[in-house]
Structure 1
Amino acid sequence: MEQLMVVVPSLNPDDKLIQVVDGMIAAGFSYVLLVDDGSDKDHWKPFLEAEQRPACTVLRHEKNLGKGRALKTAFDYICRERRDIRGVVTVDGDNQHKPRDARRLAEELIKYPAVVMLGVRNFKEHQVPLHNRMGNMITSLVFRMLCGIALSDTQTGMRAISAEHLPRFLEVAGERFEYETNMLLFMKTAGIHFREIPIETVYIENNATSHFNPLTDSAKIYGPILKFAGGSVASAGIDLFFFTLLIWALQDMASLNRQILIATVGARAVSSLFNYTFNRRAVFSSNESRRITIVRYYFLCIVQMMISYKGVALLVGAAGFTGLGKTVVKLGVDSILFAMTFHIQREWVFKKKKSDSYIDSGVQQ
């Protein structure tokens, strides 16, 4: 453990922070780095006491900047000042991460330095607060269905990371709790593999010391997904408007299938221009060339359009819907295609280029 450093971001800690520091040192870690994220004067004592330990270094923010920025401050310090460090283990300062688990992650990192180790809790245990259990269940489902990432604990702050990855994680967006979520998304797009390591599930005082804001922090965590949903809703509105308009204009056409096909193609031609531009810039921030992404996007668009056309034509023909009934059927069919298109656009259409430092560890991605 001589070349590994424990990183602990903390805001307004109590005496449990000293227990964390002493526990990590007792577990065999030679270095502990604390980041005081703008704590007030009433909470300086734990940091001042920790500084008395030769193994402990304290970095300070003049004001609260967020957990994400605190982690970045630590990573930047290690990259610039401690080039001897081979990796870090991030833990929380509320003593809910146990030293023996941190050591387990560190030992796995030593064996597989290219892999990010994630300490995962068992959310089925009775001591887990209901809001944490529900939050993790929903986020895990979203990650799996829309992002293509299978995680059993999306909220874990215990992670073991090679120093080689730290410069890349410094480029990840996010200053507060959303940064840890963005790290997971970045690992997927950058080709950085991960391994889940079971750890003890601990919630002290119902997680009362957490600084997580359920409203603002959740909004930031779900930001990319909410942007995609918002863009898709706007695009669907444009699509349905022109579909309904064309159905009305073509109401005297004898062939029902031809009427639906022309309305579907015409509406999608308009809505797809908005949807492509919005998703490329606002949601996926793709660095692929426009020529490549637009070819991929419109290939997907044509396939999706034909599935939509066939689905609407079959359902309308079977049920005999007329007028706005056709629009309702189309809304239902296109809603089913929503989750599929998010995954395909992230993984293929707007997939980010892997950097030259891409590492293939052959474990789990």
Structure 2
Amino acid sequence: MNQAIIIPAYNPDQNLPDYIRQLKQHGDFGIIVVDDGSTLPSKPIFDSIRGIEGCTVLIHERNLGKGAALKTAFRHVLEDCKTVTHVVTADADGQHAVEDVIQVTRETTRSARGLVFGVRDFVHPAIPGRSLFGNRLTSRLFHMLFGRRIQDTQTGLRGISRRELRWLMMIRGNRYDFEMNTLIHAVRENVEIREVGIRTIYLDHNSSSHYRPVLDSVRIFLKIIAGYFSGSSLYVKRAERELVEET
């Protein structure tokens, strides 16, 4: 297995095992699911996932946040999955079509470095107002401050080459702010970012998402502004990144 799909999950619904089986039908992917402190009713779901060939379930005893879950999976890949050259992160709530995850996976494997973002179309009429507002505002603010237009700054569908994982683990933030910190650092350090268009899916108006519209949006806006005024102090520095890569 040269590719692994990482899925952080907090109290997922019953559809997650079937979603993973569909992903497995498209290739010999390793699947790494991080149980981020889910409650007891979710245990049968994770037990079912463990029974799927090629699946690994990592556990946080308490909820630490999406960023922490991703870092746990990255560490697992670096320490225990020596043959994995690329990973793709996907959300557990069904917002990423199987075909789009596969498309991002294929694009990611075309290069030994850099990031790939699966970007949604925010003129789609089905987008809930809270998601439309948050994504448009962050995209415009990011472009204004950093001079780089990213169509979907908050996408959770991201392809990552193995060589980028070490500095990603050093990025601050354990919740949704981790993904924004990653984006700011990548732009500042000229890490290659390729964008791939994906379907825009919001199930039941995004009711299953654990994203908190007000609190998490404020957190992300503050991170963008802090990243602009504080330079690289909130993120891994170039010298630190080079040191980690050498090891």
Assess same fold via TM > 0.5: yes
SS in 1 for 2:95: coil
Q: Tell whether the 8 Å contact from 1:120 to 1:197 is kept in structure 2 after alignment.
A: yes
Q: 1:160 to 1:228 in 2, by over 3 A?
A: closer
Provide the rounded CA distance (Å) in 2 between the counterparts of 1:67 and 1:106.
20
Deviations 1:21-44 (A, max 9, x none): 112101214310000000000111
Provide the rounded CA distance (Å) in 2 between the counterparts of 1:353 and 1:40.
39
Q: 1:166 to 1:228 in 2, by over 3 A?
A: closer
Q: Which residue of 2 aligns with 1:131?
A: 130
Provide the rounded CA distance (Å) in 1 between the counterparts of 2:36 and 2:187.
28
Deviations 1:283-305 (A, max 9, x none): 22549xxxxxxxxxxxxxxxxxx
Q: 1:129 to 1:356 in 2, by over 3 A?
A: same
Letter in 2 for 1:35: V
Q: Tell whether the 8 Å contact from 2:121 to 2:200 is kept in structure 1 after alignment.
A: yes
Deviations 1:145-168 (A, max 9, x none): 012221111110001101111011
TM-score by length of 2: 0.92
**Following TM superposition, by how much is the alpha carbon of 1:113 offset from its aligned partner in structure 2, in angstroms?**
2.5
Q: Tell whether the 8 Å contact from 1:224 to 1:284 is kept in structure 2 after alignment.
A: no
Q: Which residue of 2 aligns with 1:189?
A: 188
Residue range with higher mean Cα deviation, 128-137 or 71-80: 128-137
Q: Which residue of 2 aligns with 1:284?
A: 231
Q: Which residue of 1 aligns with 2:11?
A: 12
Does 2:203 correspond to 1:221? Answer: no
**Following TM superposition, by how much is the alpha carbon of 1:115 offset from its aligned partner in structure 2, in angstroms?**
2.6
Q: Which residue of 2 aligns with 1:51?
A: 50
**Following TM superposition, by how much is the alpha carbon of 1:135 offset from its aligned partner in structure 2, in angstroms?**
1.1
Deviations 1:268-293 (A, max 9, x none): xxxxxxxxxxx5xxx22549xxxxxx
Q: Which residue of 2 aligns with 1:174?
A: 173
Alignment of structure 1 residues 128-277 onto 2, 5 Å: 128-227=127-226
SS in 2 for 1:222: helix
**Following TM superposition, by how much is the alpha carbon of 1:214 offset from its aligned partner in structure 2, in angstroms?**
2.1
Deviations 1:31-90 (A, max 9, x none): 100000000001111111010012110000000000000000000111111111101011
Provide the rounded CA distance (Å) in 1 between the counterparts of 2:29 and 2:227.
44
**Following TM superposition, by how much is the alpha carbon of 1:190 offset from its aligned partner in structure 2, in angstroms?**
2.2
Residue range with higher mean Cα deviation, 114-123 or 104-113: 104-113
Letter in 2 for 1:167: R
Q: Which residue of 2 aligns with 1:117?
A: 116
Q: Which has the higher strand share?
A: 2
Deviations 1:319-364 (A, max 9, x none): xxxxxxxxxxxxxxxxxxxxxxxxxxxxxxxxx54644899xxxxx
Length, aligned pairs only: 242
Provide the rounded CA distance (Å) in 2 between the counterparts of 1:103 and 1:357.
33
TM-score by length of 1: 0.63
Q: 1:39 to 1:108 in 2, by over 3 A?
A: same
**Following TM superposition, by how much is the alpha carbon of 1:189 offset from its aligned partner in structure 2, in angstroms?**
1.9
Q: Which residue of 2 aligns with 1:105?
A: 104
Q: 1:225 to 1:4 in 2, by over 3 A?
A: closer
Provide the rounded CA distance (Å) in 2 between the counterparts of 1:71 and 1:286.
22
Amino-acid identity (%):
33
Letter in 2 for 1:163: R
Provide the rounded CA distance (Å) in 2 between the counterparts of 1:42 and 1:353.
44
Q: Tell whether the 8 Å contact from 2:181 to 2:223 is kept in structure 1 after alignment.
A: no
SS in 1 for 2:70: helix
For CA contacts below 8 A with separation 6 or more, give which structure has more relative contact order.
2
**Following TM superposition, by how much is the alpha carbon of 1:186 offset from its aligned partner in structure 2, in angstroms?**
1.1
Q: Tell whether the 8 Å contact from 2:113 to 2:162 is kept in structure 1 after alignment.
A: no
Q: Tell whether the 8 Å contact from 2:88 to 2:105 is kept in structure 1 after alignment.
A: yes
**Following TM superposition, by how much is the alpha carbon of 1:200 offset from its aligned partner in structure 2, in angstroms?**
1.0
* Larger Rg, first or second structure (1 or 2): 1
Letter in 2 for 1:284: G
Residue range with higher mean Cα deviation, 60-69 or 96-105: 96-105
Q: 1:353 to 1:31 in 2, by over 3 A?
A: closer
Q: Tell whether the 8 Å contact from 1:177 to 1:221 is kept in structure 2 after alignment.
A: yes
Q: 1:72 to 1:204 in 2, by over 3 A?
A: same
**Following TM superposition, by how much is the alpha carbon of 1:227 offset from its aligned partner in structure 2, in angstroms?**
4.4
| Structure 2 segments unaligned to the other structure (5+ residues) | none
What is the CA RMSD across the aligned residues, in angstroms?
2.1
Q: Which has the higher helix share?
A: 1
Q: 1:66 to 1:135 in 2, by over 3 A?
A: same
**Following TM superposition, by how much is the alpha carbon of 1:16 offset from its aligned partner in structure 2, in angstroms?**
1.8
Deviations 1:219-256 (A, max 9, x none): 32122345489xxxxxxxxxxxxxxxxxxxxxxxxxxx
